[in-house]
Structure 1
Amino acid sequence: MGIQELTYLLQGLLWTLFLTVIGFVGGILFGIVVAVLRVSPSPWLRIPMICWIGVFQGTPLLMQLFVAYFGLPLLGFNFPAWAAVSVALTAHASAFLGEIWRGAIQAVPSGQSEAANALGLPGWSRMVDVVMPQAFKLSLPATVGFLVQLLKGTSLAAIVGFIELTRAGTIVSNQIYKPLLVFGVVGALYCAMCWPLSLWGRRLEQRMAAGAAK
């Protein structure tokens, strides 16, 4: 495998990172909304979020990519391939991150909210200033773990023809007829991205467990 093929793989790697960042940042923004509405006392706000989470956690990411790529044009949204994939990844991430953060919000001791209520803080201030900062710390290891899964999940974009790292590896392999070498390099690149994140998530979890034991 020469410089040209390696450069092509690195271009695919950049697209993988781009899709991961877009999906994760979008998932964070929408996931916060999902989490907050999910714990709302109003069923009109809570039930739609339960359905949203159920749909995106209960269906394969591959199907969600197909729906976004082929379904959005039928609704008049003629997005390029990377945008359609980004929409699917964002929706997928928002459901999982929203559920992670919902659990973290509900794990914050109720005494915190009661103390904030006794101080006369309004509902939005209790959530933003008291509950959410504590929930963020509780959810950080699981959030990092989901980031690793999302990064690996971008490989499914190859199914709709988008050239990210896995698709680039397939193209190079078909050109030079060395699949073991090419996908060994592709696997090493994925490992170089995912392994440090996994270690970070594990250390965060251990640190939180040690803090809770004190």
Structure 2
Amino acid sequence: MHTITAPELLFLLKGAQWTIALSVIGLVLGAMAGLVIALARTSHIPALRRATGGYIAVFQGTPLLMQLFVTYYGLALVGLKLDAWVSVAIGFTLHASAFLGEIWRGSIEAVPKGQTEAANALGINYVTRMRKVVLPQAIRISLPATIGFFVQLIKGTSLAAIVGFAELARNGSVVSNQTFQPLVVYGIVGALYFAMCWPLSLYGSRLEHKLATAAR
């Protein structure tokens, strides 16, 4: 047993850096795919609604850990061998797209129907109506839930350690094995997760309160 020194702390901070990077990539790419899913879920084409509904059901109904196993080990079985970084990025993107797609589907449907009816009466086409009328309001409605999901995504990155991705939780395990001080090490790891998640949670709560007050 020895004390935790600067190199160990820097190793943990590097893991936190990769945790943030993976979370942001999953959120950004998942948001792009999620928007497409939300638009498909609210379209007037039954086949699109059924297909995206099935996609959401699969990713919301299965554990994230299993999804990471499939993107890492499953793809390798069919000859597509990916680095741990690429495979977990794909896994988190698919996972985030399903949840964000459903969050934004609900937000789009929460926009008063009168807005869409007025746009139709003015002869505004679908693309312009969504871009300038519906989506700006839907994004505002969805912000608290989106921020809340981002917090869950940050904490969920700890599961990436199972396929060898060196994020905060895995680096914490390495340092713990080296120093034989698990309580101290995981206390630091927990503090780093708290420092990443608590400001976002606080901001999401305040934003939700602000939007609820404005809606009264």
Local SS of the residue matching 2:81: coil
User: Is 1:203 aligned to residue 202 of structure 2?
Assistant: no
State the TM-score, normalized to the length of structure 2: 0.97
**Which residue is 2:117 aligned to?**
114
**Which residue is 1:34 aligned to?**
37
Paired residue total: 213
**Which residue is 2:164 aligned to?**
161
Deviation readout 1:102-121 (Å, 9 max, x if unpaired): 00000001000000011110
Q: How many Å separate the matches in 1 of 2:79 and 2:133?
A: 43
User: Is 1:53 aligned to residue 83 of structure 2?
Assistant: no
**Which residue is 2:142 aligned to?**
139
Local SS of the residue matching 2:87: helix
Q: Find the partner of 1:70 among 66, 73, 82.
A: 73
User: One-letter code of the match for 1:153?
Assistant: G
Q: How many Å separate the matches in 2 of 1:163 and 1:14?
A: 10
**Which residue is 1:175 aligned to?**
178
Q: Find the partner of 1:98 among 97, 101, 105.
A: 101
Q: How many Å separate the matches in 1 of 2:37 and 2:16?
A: 30
List gaps (5 residues or longer) in structure 2: none
Deviation readout 1:142-173 (Å, 9 max, x if unpaired): 00000000000000001112111000000000
Local SS of the residue matching 1:77: coil
User: Is 1:2 aligned to residue 5 of structure 2?
Assistant: yes
C-alpha deviation, 1:127, in angstroms? 1.3
Q: How many Å separate the matches in 1 of 2:121 and 2:81?
A: 52
What is the 5 A alignment of 1:178-197?
Answer: 178-197=181-200
User: One-letter code of the match for 2:109?
Assistant: Q
Q: Find the partner of 1:25 among 19, 25, 28.
A: 28
User: One-letter code of the match for 1:79?
Assistant: L
Identity over the aligned pairs, expressed in percent? 60
**Which residue is 1:15 aligned to?**
18
C-alpha deviation, 1:26, in angstroms? 0.7
Local SS of the residue matching 2:79: coil
List gaps (5 residues or longer) in structure 1: none
Q: How many Å separate the matches in 2 of 1:210 and 1:79?
A: 48
Q: How many Å separate the matches in 2 of 1:65 and 1:89?
A: 8
Q: How many Å separate the matches in 2 of 1:77 and 1:96?
A: 26
State the 4+ residue runs in structure 1 displaced beyond 4 angstroms: none
Q: How many Å separate the matches in 1 of 2:78 and 2:138?
A: 37
**Which residue is 1:150 aligned to?**
153
Deviation readout 1:9-60 (Å, 9 max, x if unpaired): 1111111011001100011110000000011111111111000100000000
C-alpha deviation, 1:95, in angstroms? 0.3
Task: Let me know the Cα RMSD of the aligned residues.
Answer: 0.7
C-alpha deviation, 1:124, in angstroms? 1.6
